[in-house]
């Protein structure tokens, strides 16, 4: 604009100096000068308004930043940063005091200055419309924050008072907790002192049961109520009742400590219950020990008396030999093996074993009510079994000697010895394979098939076993039907092809069990000079001639 005015001035001056007509300007030069002056004034006003606007925006930013900081330090949702103790409340109140006494006045002045600038300097300025809207919004936020902070200050005073009250509660709780800890330690030791195993047992007088009953009564009357009154009730009244207060005060640490101590109280209560159960069981066990000891004595006496009666029956000699044997077999079957009748000896023994097992589970190893023990009763039962078996064998031998008078006593002894030698499981019976080996041991000239046929005839009850009586009858028939001393001698002579037989020859023709029998009953011959250095006895010779002679004496 200024350069245009300068050019126009020089042009008019040049026209005047050269006596030319001065041109007519539209608009006129004065009008243009006036417009120039107005434009300069507008530019100054704009620059001033722009500077004011920038200052207002800067102040607005400070105000907004401060308001944001206040909302962070004192959030609207007070549960985000709850006060958990009086120190937190005091710190919060100090922050609120600083807010009201220092910050509010300072930022109120700043907000007033911004309002004044907007109303006096920026009113009507279109470019300042958004800034004016921000000023209004900031004013609303400032007022709301101030109202909220005033309410917060009132609540924080109440919070501080409440937290100070809770501090007192916590202090009292700590003192109570310490007292309870000491009481619980003493009660814990008292409970442990109720040791049922420390009672000295005196089975002859029954003092154990009386002592346990007294211990249980004392525990129920003194210790258990003491735990309830000095610990459980105090905990409930002075500690657990404060839980709601601690929760309102957000005392997390104290709540954890309360929970931990509550668990200790529960452990003590459980210990009391366990000790009561232990004492109850100890009394019951003591009563059972007495009753079982009496029952054992009763059953043991019954067993001994019954065994004495059976022993008398074993030695009875009423009736013929066959009748005596039948009576013993019936007695053995009924008293020693049949459990159908509870009065039978084996049933009584089973009952006694059951009572003894119960006593041992209760750790009772002496009985003041009887001199009998389970070991003595077992020995009585075993000796009775042995006596029955021996008497039956004696009767079987007597019956065989009576009925088989045509064989010599030496032969009968040999038959009896062979029978028991090949009775491998010692059950008084010969199984099929044991019978076959016994026949071979006696030198009977029989094939294995013949042995099977004879066994089937002898086994009349189809039990696949024969007894000594049946075996003796069979042997008598064999010994009188042609198996003579000469037959046995001839058989060994064929095998040995010599006047004596070696162990090697025996191993060639007989089974191991028969060889064992022959070597036990066939006398060995003195070793010859050729055999003296031979440590292997399989080459030594045995006198089968003497064996055959002894077999038929």
What does the DSSP 8-state code read for residue 23?
Answer: P
Domains of the chain: 1-33 (no CATH), 46-170 (1.20.58.60), 194-404 (1.20.58.60), 408-471 (1.10.238.10), 482-529+536-552 (1.10.238.10)
State the Cα angle at 380 between 375 and 383, rounded to 5°: 120
State the Cα angle at 196 between 190 and 199, rounded to 5°: 105
Write down the pTM of the prediction: 0.52
Q: Characterize 353-379 residue by residue with b for buried, 16 or more Cβ atoms within 10 angstroms of its Cβ, and e for exposed.
A: eebbebbeeeebeebebbebebeebee
pLDDT, residue 185, reads 94
Cis, bond preceding 27 (omega within 30 deg of 0): yes
pLDDT string in tens for the chain (553-residue length): 555 556 666 766 777 777 776 666 666 667 777 777 778 776 776 677 677 778 878 888 998 899 999 888 888 776 767 888 888 888 888 988 998 889 988 989 888 888 887 777 666 666 667 777 888 888 999 999 999 989 988 988 998 899 999 999 999 999 999 999 999 999 999 999 988 887 744 444 457 888 889 999 999 999 999 999 999 999 999 999 999 999 999 999 999 999 999 999 999 999 999 999 999 998 998 889 889 999 999 999 999 999 999 888 888 767 777 788 888 888 888 888 888 888 888 999 999 999 999 999 988 888 888 999 999 999 999 999 898 888 888 877 777 656 544 556 666 777 778 888 888 888 888 898 888 888 887 777 778 888 888 888 888 888 888 887 778 777 777 765 545 677 677 777 767 767 788 888 888 777 776 777 788 888 888 876 665 555 555 567 888 888 877 776 6
pLDDT, residue 168, reads 94
Total length of the chain: 553
- Collapsed DSSP state (helix, strand, coil) of residue 322: helix
Q: Using CB atoms within 10 Å of the CB of residue 77, give its burial: 0 to 12 exposed, 13 to 18 middle, 19+ buried.
A: exposed
pLDDT, residue 190, reads 93
- Contact call for residues 478 and 435 (beta carbons, < 8 A): no
- Collapsed DSSP state (helix, strand, coil) of residue 541: strand
HSE-CB at 478 with a 13 A cutoff on CA atoms is 24
pLDDT, residue 268, reads 95
Tokens 């005060």 locate to 249
Determine the Cα–Cα distance for residues 507 and 509; give it in Å rounded to an integer: 6
Tokens 């064999």 locate to 478
**How is residue 429 written in tokens?**
């019976």
């Amino acid at each position: 604009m200024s350069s245009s005015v300068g050019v126009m001035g020089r042009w008019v001056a040049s026209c005047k100096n050269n006596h030319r007509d001065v041109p007519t300007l539209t608009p006129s030069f004065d009008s243009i000068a006036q417009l120039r002056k107005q434009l300069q004034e507008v530019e100054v006003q704009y620059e001033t308004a722009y500077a004011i606007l920038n200052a207002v925006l800067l102040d607005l930013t400070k105000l907004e930043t401060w308001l944001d900081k206040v909302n962070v330090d004192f959030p609207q949702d007070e549960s985000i940063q709850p006060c958990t103790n009086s120190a937190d409340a005091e710190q919060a109140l100090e922050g609120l005091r600083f807010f009201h006494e220092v910050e509010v006045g300072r930022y109120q002045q700043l907000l007033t200055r911004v309002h004044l600038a907007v109303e006096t300097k920026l009113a009507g300025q279109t470019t300042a419309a958004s800034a004016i809207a921000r000023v209004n919004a900031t004013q609303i936020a400032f007022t709301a924050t101030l109202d909220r902070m005033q309410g917060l200050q009132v609540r924080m005073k109440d919070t501080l008072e409440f937290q100070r009250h809770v501090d007192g509660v916590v202090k009292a709780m700590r003192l109570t907790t310490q007292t309870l800890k000491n009481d619980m330690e003493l009660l814990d030791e008292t409970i442990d002192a109720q040791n049922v195993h420390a009672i000295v047992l005196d089975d002859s007088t029954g003092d154990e049961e009386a002592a346990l009953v007294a211990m249980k009564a004392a525990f129920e009357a003194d210790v258990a109520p003491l735990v309830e009154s000095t610990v459980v009730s105090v905990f409930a009244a002075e500690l657990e009742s404060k839980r709601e207060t601690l929760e309102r005060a957000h005392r997390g640490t104290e709540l954890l400590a309360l929970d931990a101590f509550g668990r200790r109280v529960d452990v003590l209560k459980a210990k009391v219950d366990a000790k009561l159960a232990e004492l109850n069981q100890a009394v019951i066990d003591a009563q059972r020990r007495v009753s079982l000891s009496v029952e054992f004595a009763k059953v043991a006496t019954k067993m001994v008396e019954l065994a004495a009666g059976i022993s008398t029956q074993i030695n009875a000699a009423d009736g013929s030999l066959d009748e005596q044997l039948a009576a013993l077999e019936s007695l053995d079957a009924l008293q020693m093996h049949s459990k159908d009748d509870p009065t039978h000896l084996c049933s009584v023994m089973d009952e006694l074993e059951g009572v003894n097992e119960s006593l041992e589970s209760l750790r009772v190893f002496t009985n003041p009510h009887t001199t009998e023990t389970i070991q003595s009763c077992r020995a009585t039962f075993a000796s009775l079994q042995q006596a029955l078996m021996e008497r039956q064998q004696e009767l079987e031998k007597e019956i065989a000697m009576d009925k088989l008078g045509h064989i010599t006593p030496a032969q009968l002894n040999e038959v009896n010895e062979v029978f028991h030698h090949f009775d491998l499981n010692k059950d008084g019976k010969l199984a099929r394979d044991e019978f076959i080996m016994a026949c071979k041991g006696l030198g009977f000239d029989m094939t294995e098939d013949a042995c099977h046929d004879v066994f089937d005839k002898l086994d009349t009850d189809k039990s696949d076993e024969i007894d000594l009586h049946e075996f003796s009858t069979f042997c008598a028939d064999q010994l009188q039907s042609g198996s003579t001393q000469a037959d046995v001698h001839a058989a060994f002579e064929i095998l040995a092809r010599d006047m004596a037989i070696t162990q090697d020859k025996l191993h060639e023709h007989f089974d191991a069990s028969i060889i064992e029998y022959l070597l036990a009953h066939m006398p060995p011959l003195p070793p010859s000079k050729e055999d003296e250095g031979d440590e292997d006895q399989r080459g030594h010779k045995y006198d089968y001639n003497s064996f055959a002679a002894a077999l038929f004496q």
